Amino acid sequence: MRDTMYGRKSGLSPKGAGLIFMLFGVALLVVAAILFAHDAKLRSVCTAETTATVVENITVRSGTKGHSSSRTYAPIFEYEFEGIRHKIRSSTSQNPPKYEIGETVKLLVNPNEPITFREDGDITLRIIAGIFAFFGIVFGSVGIKIRTLPQNN
């Protein structure tokens, strides 16, 4: 198709589309690296074991007003560390709730900042990072493939 105003083809060239795919893939890989690094940091600083009790499952809604929304549940953990009681909401939520109210959970807390914690055995952050990495590799590979295809003039 020719653009009559400028006398050239209109639209995005395959090389341009390939570049967009590659850049999107790189962006996804950067997000994955940040998530993996955050997970590694939590694992290195959250070393003190404590037992928490789930005292509540709060409702977390996603979506906007007037549109459908999903409802997930985030546990509120209560635990004591070095004689001080802490009541902290988990950063993850799901439906159905992961824990029942009154259930005890092993947490690993940062001894220097006991409100920073992770659930023992929780791999949610690693899974999310892995998904970003997977799609980053897919988009990057597709972009490279598109850019290396022979051009039809």
Say which residue the tokens 């997970």 belong to: 39
**Using only C-alpha atoms, what is the Rg of the chain?**
23
- 3-state secondary structure (DSSP) of residue 11: coil
Residue 8 has pLDDT above 90, yes or no: no
Q: Which tens digits make up the pLDDT trace of 48-98? A: 999 999 999 998 887 666 666 788 999 999 999 999 999 999 988 888 999
Which has the closest alpha carbon to 35: 108, 134, 142? 134
pTM of this prediction? Answer: 0.74
Contact, 97 vs 73, CB < 8 A?
yes
Render the burial of 117-149: b for 16+ CB within 10 Å, e for the rest. bbbeebeebeebbeebbebbeebbebbeebbee
Q: Is 63 left (phi over 0), alpha (psi -120 to 50) or beta?
A: left
Comparing 106 with 14, the larger pLDDT belongs to: 106
pLDDT in the model for residue 104: 95
Mean pLDDT estimate for the chain: 88
Half-sphere exposure of 13 (CA within 13 A, CB side): 12
